[in-house]
Structure 1
Amino acid sequence: MHLRHLKCEVYVLTSAPNTCKGVVQLAHYLEFTPLLEVLEWHMYYYKKYKCRVRKTKVAREDYRLSRHDHLKTVYMSGFRCYRPQEELVYFILENAVALEFMSIEPHTILADDDHCDFSDIAEDKKIRKWARRTSACFGKQVQVKKKKLAQYFTM
């Protein structure tokens, strides 16, 4: 299979988004797409209290990505500076040697926005600061897409 463009919509149900390693474990799917050029990764977080989630300990080497020589563009929405999301970005930046453009967006457009919890979205300032530090660390530009929240509710 010579998949060149992949669009993923990931729904995460968790009571502790900063410790939910499931997002990072999804990086294994990139192993099946060695010729991938464009990756769109849209994450929808639903915070559920008293949610029963099986706890698994995952070592960093367990979800290491192989080198991606063709991945040039990454769009990621629903980025809220949760630690697992940051780790996913780090792994992509480490292994996508041909990466030309990465864009992260704090908000996610939802078809069913009645169930979306925007209460804990990190401030744009915090996300922009994180993106600048990450860009400097990896020598690759990470841009933060800025939209007004009102745009998401007028379709």
Structure 2
Amino acid sequence: MKPPSRFKGFPNLRKLHIQSVHASRKDLEHVLSSSCNLEWLKIDRCDLNDELTVNGLLTHLRYLHVEYCKITKIKFHALQNVYINYSEAVFQQALTSLLKGLPNVRNLTLRIDGQHIEKQWSRDNPLMFSHLRHLQLFMLFSYCDDIDKILYSVSFLKATPIIEKLEIHFTGFRLWFADVGPRRQDFGQCKYKYLKSMCMTGFKAARGQVELLLHVVENAPALEIVTINTKQQVCEELPPYGSSRPPPYEEAKKIAINCLSVALPQNVKFSVI
């Protein structure tokens, strides 16, 4: 994609989907900056291999969807609604990149297919999603090495001081009853004063999932609704639990109920599916 020399953009365009296009950073930013009334933007399967920065040019943009793109950094200061799909990314690095590039986002969906999680995160990191209210986090566990690091996703939550709605969607058969990883006491407390609703799907009674649930419940005084679903939302179960034998959903449900029934206040609506 290379705009002609006299390209004047699409000043009346409201919605744009760029798919499977090879473009330089300069050309893509030129097209976007020339579409000043753009409200909805999706960039899909475009190997930019560079940053994508738009500062103060797309003031009407309300929604950004980036999926399967080789973009090293995204920077849209005025953006509020974002869907990002990374592939084979380091969780903490992806988080830091988003913190720097999307400071005003209010609704964020982050999906990392085959993410790697590191065992460190600076507790004194000043970066915050100061406006984020709704977070959907999709975590696909393809590697056994990362099963013991689920609780390190707390680093994301600690950067969301005013979050109100939290959804975490797990995928990966290796999660079933995985008794590995740290305890929540190792991470200290962090109050989520405004959190009202939490939903977790793909619950397989892994220690990291249980500890993450308890961490949130114990630090969310305004919590009203907690929903746990043992079914995966992204894809069907893979072996060893698939067509050959049913997954142990009922056992996972019992563990969720036993762990949270004591920790949850009586006024919280609690359901396990």
- % same residue: 25
TM-score between both structures, scaled by the size of structure 1:
0.72
Query: Distance in 2 between the 1:35 and 1:67 partners?
Result: 10
Q: Which amino acid letter does the alignment assign opposite residue 5 of structure 1?
A: H
Q: Is the 8 A contact 1:9 1:42 kept in 2?
A: yes
Q: Which amino acid letter does the alignment assign opposite residue 90 of structure 1?
A: L
SS state at 1:104 partner: strand
Q: Which amino acid letter does the alignment assign opposite residue 116 of structure 1?
A: L
Q: Which amino acid letter does the alignment assign opposite residue 110 of structure 1?
A: V
Q: Determine which structure has more spread, i.e. the larger CA radius of gyration.
A: 2
1:51-66 to 2 correspondences below 5 Å: 58=182, 60-66=184-190
TM-score between both structures, scaled by the size of structure 2:
0.43
- Residue 82 of structure 1: aligned partner: 206
Post-superposition offset of 1:143:
1.3
* Bigger share in helix: 1
255, 262, 267: which one pairs with 1:130?
A: 255
User: RMSD of the TM alignment (CA)?
Assistant: 2.7
Query: Distance in 1 between the 2:141 and 2:238 partners?
Result: 11
1:1-12 to 2 correspondences below 5 Å: 1-12=130-141
The number of residue pairs the alignment matches comes to: 132
Q: Is the 8 A contact 2:197 2:226 kept in 1?
A: yes
User: Residue deviations 1:16-39, cap 9 Å, x none?
Assistant: 78xx22211101110110100000
Q: Which amino acid letter does the alignment assign opposite residue 141 of structure 2?
A: V
Q: Taking structure 1 as reference, are residues 133 and 60 closer, same or farther at Cα in structure 2, changes over 3 Å only? A: closer
Query: For structure 1, which runs of at least 5 residues remain unmatched after alignment?
Result: 48-56, 146-155
1:2-151 to 2 correspondences below 5 Å: 2-15=131-144, 20-47=147-174, 58=182, 60-110=184-234, 113=236, 116-117=238-239, 119=241, 121-124=247-250, 126-140=251-265, 141=268, 142-145=270-273
SS state at 1:25 partner: helix
SS state at 2:254 partner: helix
Greater relative CO (CA pairs within 8 A, separation 6+) = 1
Q: Is the 8 A contact 1:81 1:122 kept in 2?
A: no
